[in-house]
Amino acid sequence: MPVIYAVTATVPEALVEAYVAWLLGGHVQAVVAGGAEQAWVTRLGPDQVESRYLFASPEALAAYERDVAPGLRADGVARFVEPHGVTFRRASGPLLGHLP
């Protein structure tokens, strides 16, 4: 069963453009290369950005979290958490339905 994995970042408004540029400039592509089948980046509000990924199965997400995510998360922490106080909330769950 496909799984959705979402990361919601709360980012100081002045930093949102730089954060989105980082996401779209390689981070999202690395998540896809690490096992996600699709990815979306959405601005949810003035200080929130969501990255949403579709994985083929819970096992594919688990492999990503084990093998790829630690390095990508460390990069995000070094760039955005430590110097700017960005916070991340992660959630995942089975995809129950989809309409094209």
Tell me which residue range forms the domain holding 63: 3-88
Tell me if 26 is assigned to some domain: yes
Tell me if 95 is assigned to some domain: no
Give 54-65 pLDDT, tens digit per residue. Answer: 999 999 999 999
Give 45-100 pLDDT, tens digit per residue. Answer: 999 999 999 999 999 999 999 999 999 999 999 999 999 999 999 999 999 999 98
Count how many domains the chain has.
1
Give 12-27 pLDDT, tens digit per residue. Answer: 999 999 999 999 999 9
Tell me if 24 is assigned to some domain: yes
**Model pTM?**
0.95
Three-class secondary structure assignment of the chain: CCEEEEEEEECCHHHHHHHHHHHHHHHHHHHHHCCCCEEEEEEEECCEEEEEEEECCHHHHHHHHHHCHHHHHHHHHHHHHHHHCCEEEEEEEECCCCCC
**The domain that contains 16 carries what CATH number?**
3.30.70.100
Tell me if 97 is assigned to some domain: no
